Chain A
Amino acid sequence: MNDTFWLLTAIIFLPTAGAAGVALIKKESVETMRAFALAITFATFLLSIYLTWGVFDPTDPGIQPKAPELVSKDAGGFKSAEIAKQYEQRGVSTKWIPGWNIEYRLGYDGISVPLVLLTGLISFLGMVASWSIQKEVKGYLILYLLLETGMMGVFLALDFFLFYVFWEVMLLPMYFLIGIWGGPRREYAAIKFFLYTLFGSILMLIALLMLYFGSGGGDTLPTFNILKLSAIGQGLIPDLAYSPAVQLTAFVLLFIGFAIKVPVWPFHTWLPDAHVEAPTPISMILAGVLLKMGGYGILRIAFPICPAGAQAACLVLVALGVISIIYGAFAALAQTDFKRMVAYSSVSHMGYVLLGIAVWKLTDTGSVDGSRFWLQGINGAMFQMIGHGISSAGMFFMVGVIYDRVHHRDLNKFGGLIGLMPLYGGIAIGLFFAGLGLPGLCGFIGEVFVVLSSWNYSPVLAIVAASGVILTAGYILWAVQRVYLGPEYKGPHPEAITPLTEREAFVGLTLLAFAIILGVFPDTLFSKMKTSTEQFVSTMDAGYQASLKPATTTAAVEKK
């Protein structure tokens, strides 16, 4: 228990405390409640900024903080003290359920810190955008804040059990937020979202049991510590390992659980419904943060714990990524509903994330072929996650702004908005171009890195993936043309089209600013995650090689 422990705990549970605070405010004082909730999300955002620039050390590739009292000589069951330093003795923790060796263990590294920052930002901006919510504001704010707790917890948890708990905790408020404040088909969308995710979670739970009971042998208690599990998966602990068959099974179960969240074709069908029916701020959160949890889970859990399984499944993953890119783009092209189009664009963009993560190529002899290309893919995937978080949240917000005014989303019934609302039109076109992947904006770097890295894996797939970029340009430009350009507005309620309010302008401009900063200075982000992704790639390679050697291994798993 030290300062970092309390800092991380505060990032996670400050919103919960805020929710309790909102519950105490009288139902009538709506504005007070909103202001209070906004202050809480802002404070959380500030804490995440402090974490990123004040506490986080980008030169250390491993999980931070290193528990100083533990960085010691003793190898603690690992092959060497060096390895132990890398895995076991990191993060901050306290016992939760000692009988089952379940810990409340938190930590961060270059992979999770950008996502924590993104969560803080999007939650704050989403709360600003929540002024458009008029119905049952109190319940909305409470659930919104609880949702933020769940999201922060997922990105900071280092205990698999704890991770699972936060993963599900995020689900509960989401059901209500879509179900109560959503659009006309909200019941259907909410239950579909819930059902898909719960199904994935159950698969994850079974994988959790497999990995947990495989991690103890003889006198050692099994553990949920993700770092320890990774070390076992990568063959760094003598006498304890997951056999390739176990790894593949666990990987498939975990991957389906995460793929539903990403979402990867063919598990994506919940997404258009949920995004379209959700209220605008929740759509921002869904697209901006929730989808990233899937990618994060693959990077943090599925790959490191099951390197052999991941390697065996890489081709399938790449294929699914490419299919998602193309399928999402075509589906977006076919939409007439503005929000649905943006939703399908998320499927397409998240395909790049999966593609970038999975371009892990081996030579015929089994050694890694071009690990720097894979590193480039991982970096691109990470960048794409952040970039998409900003651009898609922005796009959903832009759709929401116009929907609040004219109450329809039919792409064919817009037009000429840039003349009627010049500021809105400018911000929106900027954000849509960020989504398109225009150089100089945040969408470009991620896509380029991923496509370049996939060339090494398979030129054919790279060409297909690159054609996705063209399709993306197609549907976004077409949408921009139909909505913002053109001679005049053709739809209903033309009288309701009023300029942006200050609040809306603030949200839009902030997102646009981040899109431009990331596009022009990508190194602000890369510098944070570079060392971590480098270590990720090198340990994965080593881990895969180690887990192939049957050595002393399988016996321990069989015995349990």
Chain B
Amino acid sequence: MVCDMNFSELLQRVVQDTVGTNPFGDLGRVWQGQQPTLSDGSLLMFLPELIVVGTILALLFVRLFDLDKVFSGQSVALLGSTVALLVAVVQFLALKNFDGAASDAVHKTMFTGLLVYDAFGVFFKVFLLLFLQLVVYLTRLTGLPDREDAPDFYTLLFGSTLGMLLMISSNNLLMVFLGIEMTSVPSYAMVGFLKGRRTSSEAAFKYVVYGAGAAGVMLYGISLLAGLLGTTNFPEMAVRLNMVIGTHPLKMDATLLTLLLSIVMILVGFAFKLSIFPFHFWGPDAFEGASTEVAGFLSVASKGAAFALLLRVLLALVGPTTEQSGLMVPVYFYLGIAISVLAAVTATFGNLAAYSQNNIKRMLAYSTIAHAGYMLMAVGAMLVLLNATKHVPDAQVRWDLATRAVEGLLFYLWVYMLMNLGAFAVAAFIRNELFSEDITDFGGLWTQAPVLTFAMACCMFSLIGMPPFGGFTGKFMVFSSLFQAGHYHWAMWGVLAIAGLNTVFSLFYYVRVLKFMFIAPAKDDARRVKVPLTSAAGSYVFALAVLVLWTGMWGAKYLSATAHDVASVLFP
């Protein structure tokens, strides 16, 4: 805290931090013939989020003044998400190209250090906004909200996304909680959006009760951690932690106990958001009760944002150099193993529970749990690799290995977005045609709507982890991190073996969907499904399927290289 500063000076600094030296940022600078320095004002860095906020306001105005005759809520939403996505892409390209030249641009903070602006965050911004765009387009095709409800629905959707955008660039424990709550509260409402349905209200009720409880526990953990460290700012946390813990030999005293308790409580909050065993139970219920589109949104976006935030929190605790966390290194090492084991249990549980499901959304919900397990393995492997100081004294080697683990996670998330959205989209289109979400009703679909079944086959094989689809490449990267981590503790090889076996288990229920679509005959009284490739719905799922294929073939090159660059930002 700067105390020798009068109020006007303080105000001036805050203003400068917010709007920057040149209110038009790089554009203005280039206009004046100066070198662009990357936007240094927070507002400019915050532009994608501001556009999302603007879209929310526009939607509310549309609702307020009954403008939906002129601009439908869908078009406003589509426009807003497109512009926000474009801005985020520009930011990402700029950051990527600036990385080498201006090293101080790698980590910039926004709003006096509450948020961080780096390639990792912007990468996730692109991820979330692209996904938002795809979901908005999907709801437009399936007609989920009718014209009247559209502004409400998209307000919730954009509000939830805004929370996720805060989560991924959090640099402060306050923003962690704020982001998670801003994400959760609209998603509770979205799950209950099908107002008249008993299942929908039940799903929303369960979700809100469990979600609020988990958030409360997490907040309590945050309060303990903040009090113990005396700071909520991420970059200072590892140093403070060293001061608190490092002053005396590591033993089970009150300080360490409080610290562990607070970390566990925070992780419980994450486990809930990621639906990690044993905090997974809300997932299938919420997904089954919610509409398919909302379930698809929640299964990907909230997972992606939560993983980004989990990485940020864990790395803040570990510190930029592992030496800073000093005595905590073995604690983190075993925490990594514990996380991986939990991930293995989660994946196994998700896969086993998915067997007996007949409702496609519920099956996909369990599959989401299983995939959260696979991705969490990468996080566990990263912690193990990062803290294997006993085996690998060279910090640079450890960072390289950890970068690989994060690269695998990022790659997996991208592919997961495409393949999971594809599966949910196909389910939504089939629901619109058949009025059924029961897998056993999908018989004989492939002769009627080959494009839907082709897309479903691509997504299912990708979810199993079969080449040449992207799911395989992602899984391969995660598995290779686990394998590397196994050199430092045998338990990681156990996790790898379980993960491999899980891949084989998961075959049954994914292929079961395909079995009904391709092999089983159509039911006699079933409606005919007509979704040709030339229809918007057909081309939408076809494009997703091609993208899933692309990420496994030519696209793997670009995606893995980008993911590697982005992951390396996290480590010095």
Q: Are chains A and B touching in the complex at the 8 Å CB cutoff?
A: yes
Q: Inside 8 A of B556's CB, which chain A residues have their CB?
A: 96-97
- Contact status A165-B496, CB under 8 Å: no
Contact check: which of B473, B500, B560 meets A206 at CB < 8 Å?
Answer: B500
Give complex CA distance A44, B476 in Å. Answer: 32
Known: A194-B511, A198-B504, A213-B484. A168 touches B466 (CB 8 A): yes
Q: How far is the CB of A71 from chain B (nearest CB, A)?
A: 28
Chain A interface, >50% SS class:
helix
Q: Inside 8 A of A96's CB, which chain B residues have their CB?
A: 556-557
Known: A97-B560, A179-B518. A209 touches B479 (CB 8 A): yes
Give complex CA distance A99, B567 in Å. Answer: 13
Contact check: which of B446, B479, B557 meets A139 at CB < 8 Å?
Answer: B446
Closest to A96 in B: B557
Q: 1/0 per residue B430-452: CB within 8 Å of A?
A: 00000000000000001100100
Q: 1/0 per residue A43-83: CB within 8 Å of B?
A: 00000000000000000000000000000000000000000
Known: A97-B557, A136-B447. A205 touches B515 (CB 8 A): no
Closest to A165 in B: B467
- Contact status A175-B511, CB under 8 Å: yes
Q: How far is the CB of B351 from chain A (nearest CB, A)?
A: 14
Q: 1/0 per residue B64-78: CB within 8 Å of A?
A: 000000000000000
Q: 1/0 per residue B483-507: CB within 8 Å of A?
A: 1100100000000110011011001
- Contact status A180-B518, CB under 8 Å: yes
- Contact status B511-A212, CB under 8 Å: no
Give complex CA distance A213, B484 in Å. Answer: 8
Contact check: which of A99, A179, A195, A209 meets B504 at CB < 8 Å?
Answer: A195
Give complex CA distance A318, B390 in Å. Answer: 44
Q: Inside 8 A of A203's CB, which chain B residues have their CB?
A: 500
Q: Inside 8 A of B480's CB, which chain A residues have their CB?
A: 209, 212-213
Q: Inside 8 A of A191's CB, which chain B residues have their CB?
A: 507-508, 511, 515
B113 contacts the other chain (CB 8 A): no
Q: Inside 8 A of A186's CB, which chain B residues have their CB?
A: 519
Residue in B446, B450, B487, B504 with the greatest tally of chain A CB atoms within 10 Å: B504
A164 contacts the other chain (CB 8 A): yes
Give complex CA distance A436, B461 in Å. Answer: 40
- Contact status B504-A210, CB under 8 Å: no
Q: Inside 8 A of A210's CB, which chain B residues have their CB?
A: 483
Q: Inside 8 A of B484's CB, which chain A residues have their CB?
A: 213, 560
Q: Inside 8 A of A331's CB, which chain B residues have their CB?
A: none
Closest to B482 in A: A209
A100 contacts the other chain (CB 8 A): yes
- Contact status B518-A202, CB under 8 Å: no
B468 contacts the other chain (CB 8 A): yes
A478 contacts the other chain (CB 8 A): no
Closest to A153 in B: B468
Q: How far is the CB of A45 from chain B (nearest CB, A)?
A: 24
Q: How far is the CB of B466 from chain A (nearest CB, A)?
A: 5
B362 contacts the other chain (CB 8 A): no
Q: How far is the CB of A145 from chain B (nearest CB, A)?
A: 15
- Contact status B503-A198, CB under 8 Å: yes
Give complex CA distance A209, B483 in Å. Answer: 7
Q: How far is the CB of A182 from chain B (nearest CB, A)?
A: 9
Residue in A95, A98, A168 with the greatest tally of chain B CB atoms within 10 Å: A168
Q: How far is the CB of A526 from chain B (nearest CB, A)?
A: 35
Give complex CA distance A168, B553 in Å. Answer: 14
Give complex CA distance A187, B443 in Å. Answer: 13
Closest to A179 in B: B519
Closest to B554 in A: A96
B561 contacts the other chain (CB 8 A): yes
- Contact status A560-B500, CB under 8 Å: no
Q: Inside 8 A of B487's CB, which chain A residues have their CB?
A: 560
B564 contacts the other chain (CB 8 A): yes
A171 contacts the other chain (CB 8 A): yes
Q: Inside 8 A of A560's CB, which chain B residues have their CB?
A: 484, 487
Q: Give how many A-B residue pairs fall within 8 Å (CB-CB).
A: 81
Give complex CA distance A151, B500 in Å. Answer: 24
- Contact status B560-A202, CB under 8 Å: no
Contact check: which of A95, A172, A187, A205 meets B461 at CB < 8 Å?
Answer: A172
Contact check: which of B407, B477, B501 meets A202 at CB < 8 Å?
Answer: B501
- Contact status A168-B472, CB under 8 Å: yes
Q: 1/0 per residue A190-232: CB within 8 Å of B?
A: 1100110011001101100110110000000000000000000
Known: A210-B483, A213-B484. A205 touches B500 (CB 8 A): yes
A169 contacts the other chain (CB 8 A): yes
Q: 1/0 per residue A153-196: CB within 8 Å of B?
A: 00000000000110011011001100110000011001100110
Q: Inside 8 A of A99's CB, which chain B residues have their CB?
A: 407, 557, 560-561, 564
Known: A202-B501, A560-B487. A169 touches B515 (CB 8 A): no
Q: Inside 8 A of B519's CB, which chain A residues have their CB?
A: 179-180, 186-187, 190
- Contact status B503-A179, CB under 8 Å: no
Known: A100-B560, A205-B479, A209-B480. A195 touches B446 (CB 8 A): no
- Contact status A169-B483, CB under 8 Å: no
Q: Which chain B residues numbered 496 to 539 have a C-beta less than 8 Å away from chain A? A: 496-497, 500-501, 503-504, 507-508, 511, 515, 518-519
Give complex CA distance A168, B464 in Å. Answer: 12
Q: Inside 8 A of B477's CB, which chain A residues have their CB?
A: 100
Give complex CA distance A168, B466 in Å. Answer: 7
Q: Inside 8 A of B504's CB, which chain A residues have their CB?
A: 195, 198-199, 202
Give complex CA distance A98, B556 in Å. Answer: 10
Contact check: which of A95, A180, A199, A205 meets B476 at CB < 8 Å?
Answer: A205
Closest to A558 in B: B487
Q: Inside 8 A of A171's CB, which chain B residues have their CB?
A: 466
Q: Inside 8 A of B407's CB, which chain A residues have their CB?
A: 99
Q: Inside 8 A of B479's CB, which chain A residues have their CB?
A: 205-206, 209
Closest to A100 in B: B560
Give complex CA distance A515, B561 in Å. Answer: 51
- Contact status B518-A194, CB under 8 Å: no
Contact check: which of B468, B483, B496, B507 meets A194 at CB < 8 Å?
Answer: B507
Q: Inside 8 A of B508's CB, which chain A residues have their CB?
A: 191, 195
Q: How far is the CB of B442 from chain A (nearest CB, A)?
A: 14
Give complex CA distance A210, B480 in Å. Answer: 9
Q: How far is the CB of B260 from chain A (nearest CB, A)?
A: 33
Give complex CA distance A164, B468 in Å. Answer: 10
Give complex CA distance A194, B512 in Å. Answer: 12
Give complex CA distance A179, B476 in Å. Answer: 28
- Contact status B507-A198, CB under 8 Å: yes
Q: How far is the CB of A136 from chain B (nearest CB, A)?
A: 7
Closest to A200 in B: B504
Closest to A162 in B: B467
Q: How far is the CB of B7 from chain A (nearest CB, A)?
A: 52
- Contact status A179-B472, CB under 8 Å: no
Q: How far is the CB of A59 from chain B (nearest CB, A)?
A: 36
Q: How far is the CB of B49 from chain A (nearest CB, A)?
A: 31
Closest to B392 in A: A559
Q: Inside 8 A of A179's CB, which chain B residues have their CB?
A: 515, 518-519
- Contact status B518-A169, CB under 8 Å: no
Q: Inside 8 A of B450's CB, which chain A residues have their CB?
A: 139
Nearest 5 pairs of A and B residues by beta carbon? A165-B467, A202-B500, A209-B483, A168-B467, A99-B560
* Chain A to chain B contacts (Cβ below 8 Å), 28 pairs: A95-B557, A96-B557, A97-B557, A99-B557, A100-B560, A136-B447, A165-B467, A168-B466, A168-B467, A168-B468, A175-B511, A176-B518, A179-B515, A179-B518, A180-B518, A180-B519, A191-B507, A191-B511, A198-B504, A205-B476, A205-B479, A206-B483, A206-B496, A206-B497, A209-B480, A210-B483, A213-B480, A213-B483
With A99-B561, A165-B467 already in contact, 7 other A-B pairs whose C-beta atoms are closer than 8 Å: A99-B560, A179-B519, A191-B511, A205-B500, A210-B483, A212-B480, A213-B483
Interface residues of B (CB under 8 A from A): 407, 446-447, 450, 461, 464, 466-468, 472-473, 476-477, 479-480, 483-484, 487, 496-497, 500-501, 503-504, 507-508, 511, 515, 518-519, 556-557, 560-561, 564
Interface residues of A (CB under 8 A from B): 95-100, 136, 139, 164-165, 168-169, 171-172, 175-176, 179-180, 186-187, 190-191, 194-195, 198-199, 202-203, 205-206, 209-210, 212-213, 560
